[in-house]
Chain A
Amino acid sequence: MITVYVPRDAAALSVGADDVAAAIASQAKAAKKDIRIVRNGSRGMLFLEPLVEVDTPNGRVAYGPVAAGDVADLFSAGFLDGKAHKLGHGLTEKIPYFAKQERLTFARCGITDPLSIEDYRTHGGFDGLTKALSMKGSEIVEEVTTSGLRGRGGAGFPTGIKWKTVHDIKGEQKYIACNADEGDSGTFADRMLMEGDPFCLIEGMTIAAVAVGATKGYIYIRSEYPHAVKVMREAIEIARQTHWLGDDIQGSGKAFELYVRMGAGAYICGEETSMLESIEGKRGIVRFKPPIPAIEGLFGKPTIINNVMSLAAVPIILAKGGAFYRDYGVGRSRGTLAFQIAGNIKQGGLVEKAFGVTTRELIEDWGGGTATGRPVRAVQIGGPLGAYLPPAKFDVPMDYEEFAKADAMVGHGGLVVFDDTVDMAKQARFAMEFCAIESCGKCTPCRIGSMRGVEVIDKIIANDNRDMNLTLLEDLCVTMTDGSLCAMGGLTPMPVMSAVRNFPEDFHKQTANKFIADAAE
């Protein structure tokens, strides 16, 4: 029997993976070939999706992007034996895009059947948790601290310190809350992991629970990710049945229950305290800090809040030791980050790589330039609250501190590429508009500032007292940065001011004389 892999990842489905799988099944039936189709996660080479793989004695051979209409042709070319075809790429693991990566968190993603616990075990799954179950809580925390892991959601706060706070505090009920409200444009690593290797997240959360003595956990997934919600719910049920979750995990006497909560389309709920409110069934209004959630979090109890990527890095840290993970990376940015190359890009996808790689390498070596074939003009890094960088800054290494020095942020590792047709004044305006749409409304700098920001940028674009309004915009941005309660209002100035500073020509396009500008139109 020949095994054929057709991803079930939402990105693959979005370009017809289900149709391809159906076509392969019916073609095989017609040709009387005995095949088994596995719906795996994505390998992350999204430009090749749907990426069909065939298991051969030499390894898995890749074909992509496959359309349902190509299937008959693939059969006649002998793809079930891994034969050559114009859509063929040879062995999947030898494709440079894939081979050059350092896959730690995504080691299994795309290889296994996401909902097969046997596959998961075969590929090293639950090794970390098994080890953790034999360790003291403080030892687990120590291992995570040694790894140098920092919050992958964007803020980069040391995970070990957060865990230690919750570990050290006395409390009858503690919680683990996983932030899977991946609302930033240009990011899809959380989604890919949840759909492609859900047990990895369950394992990471369970290790966190064992470490700090929490017995309940929540995964807050955005409603825009229906596939991820479904896979996670199924995976939790399977883990429960196989006693990797429940009131006696693998006979250790340790208990952990996990629940999925679905968001409802509010970007702000990716802010940790707003997420807590939302899990509690309330409006996603940001809370004041202090108290920090580690002390008074979900339902007022000590809570670890981590991003999907932080928690999914934990199993390998426990399995192979904190030092193993720490040996990747540069400076104080240790380990790997799942970079997501997106937007106007020829070869978009997920690239897991140690810190220190540059934007240029990611965009040129992996991404292969823009999809439109035009020159790259700007890249927004770290989501809608991240800076717009010009090509002159593409050689800054991916490192939290180096990026901060360049008035930018690594964030969640998402890169959105724009070609030279982009109007940066429009992008700056959108940043303010987005903040106005998504602000929770609790603090004035964010709620009112974003509205004023849109108005001021409109005046700048219309060349209405441009210089005065540019000064006003800068002043407004300082107020928002310093006066906002959370990162939503506090970081919206980053894309705005980076656009103004790095692309001043887009804010001075029209002639200074409004009458001439109007007449020219």
Chain B
Amino acid sequence: MRNISGVDGDSQGSGIMGKKTPRRPLDIIDQQPAASSPAEIAALATCARHGNKPDELLEILHELQEHVGYVPEATLPVIAKALNISRAEVHGVVTFYHDFRREPAGRHVIKICRAEACQSMGTEHLCQHAEQTLGTKLGGTSADGAYTIEAVYCLGNCALSPAILIGDRLFGKVDPIRFDSIVAGLNKEAAE
């Protein structure tokens, strides 16, 4: 596993200041690696806020992603140690769920519903339009880093299809024309 922070993720036995201290396996504080990058510090703080409870791992990852923008590889060992679970378990959860991204996304993440109700109202066409206008495939980010477009399966707005979700904002009856005006609105907001 690549450690992009350059810090040895497995720092058992080294104290907070890097001094060698005797290993006390039951003391979770001592087992935590020296978090150096802002993401690792954020990960530690998030875990602590959740009482370092392993059953709150999804909540922790959501919050971390909200804060950092994605779940950096370097935070996985930090989280594993804080929650006293294996790195494999954290890795397993991060990779299982579609929501958690392992790389930064564009400034705006546009989720387009591709499920049946939206299909019946032409979401395939909308997806193609989005891919063409933003110059990237579903799952990709536009060259200027402004937009990531993703397919989702149902946003619960099935009577007003097709639907898209941008951040916490839901849009219904999105045809290509409305899509363009929504994107233009995002640009305007960004400029303000």
Contact = CB atoms under 8 A, between A and B. Distances in A.
Interface of A: 10-11, 13-15, 46-47, 49, 182-188, 190-191, 223-227, 261-267, 278-285, 299, 340-345, 348-350, 371, 380, 384, 414, 416-419, 422, 427, 430, 434, 437-438
8 contacts: A15-B171, A266-B97, A281-B56, A343-B117, A344-B120, A349-B159, A416-B158, A430-B119
B117 A263 contact: no
Interface string B146-173: 0000001111111111010100111111
Contacts of A13: 169-170
Contacts of A14: 157, 160, 163, 170-173
Contacts of B10: none
A267 B96 CA distance: 11
Chain B interface helix/strand/loop/mixed: mixed
A185 B62 contact: no
A262 B116 contact: no
Interface size class of B (residues with CB under 8 A): 35 or more
Given A223-B62, A226-B168, A265 B156 contact: no
B93 interface: yes
A263 B152 contact: no
Contacts of A187: 154, 156, 158
Nearest to B169: A13
B92 interface: yes
Contacts of B121: 343-344, 371
Given A280-B55, A343-B116, A184 B98 contact: no
B59 A261 contact: yes
Nearest to A226: B168
A430 B153 CA distance: 12
Given A187-B158, A438-B153, A227 B170 contact: yes
Nearest to A345: B159
Given A14-B157, A342-B159, A417-B120, 17 more contacts: A11-B157, A15-B172, A185-B115, A186-B154, A190-B156, A224-B165, A263-B58, A264-B61, A264-B100, A265-B152, A282-B57, A342-B117, A342-B161, A345-B159, A350-B159, A371-B121, A416-B120
Given A13-B170, A281-B57, A384-B115, A184 B154 contact: yes
Contacts of B8: none
Nearest to A379: B120
Contacts of A191: 156
A46 B160 contact: yes
A183 B61 CA distance: 21
B54 interface: yes
B121 to A, nearest CB: 6
B97 A284 contact: yes
A417 B119 CA distance: 10
Given A14-B163, A264-B99, A283 B93 contact: yes
B170 to A, nearest CB: 4
Given A262-B62, A281-B58, A371-B121, A15 B160 contact: yes
B170 A264 contact: no
A10 B152 contact: no
Contacts of B53: 281
A201 to B, nearest CB: 15
Given A15-B160, A342-B158, A342-B161, A422 B56 contact: no
A14 B168 CA distance: 11
